[in-house]
Amino acid sequence: MTKTLLLVESKPARPDLVEEYHQWHEQTHVPEMLDIEGFASARRWQAVDGESFLTLYEIDSDVETARANLREALS
């Protein structure tokens, strides 16, 4: 059961890197995030500005546990 939602806005470093950004996000980043205990799912949208993207992560543990797991995965 989802306990918390984490909304992240991001965008490619440059407009010409949009395809590379999507590939990395979908094939590398999201799978890595979902391997972290507490992160249950992720959905993505293009923001209204057309240049940035939103990712909504569903967290099924308490926030502090998910945050600690994320920190550990990043170290």
Digit-coded pLDDT (tens) for 14-52:
989 999 999 999 999 999 999 999 999 999 999 887 889
By residue count, the chain amounts to 75
2 close to 61: Cβ distance less than 8 angstroms: no
pLDDT for position 3: 83
- Give the span between the Cα atoms of 56 and 41, in whole angstroms: 8
- Label residue 55 exposed, middle or buried (CB < 10 Å: 0-12, 13-18, 19+): middle
End-to-end CA distance of the chain: 28
Query: Does residue 7 register a pLDDT over 90?
Result: yes
Is the alpha carbon torsion for 73, 40, 4, 24 positive or negative? positive
User: 47-68 pLDDT, tens per residue?
Assistant: 887 889 999 999 998 888 999 9
pLDDT of residue 32: 95
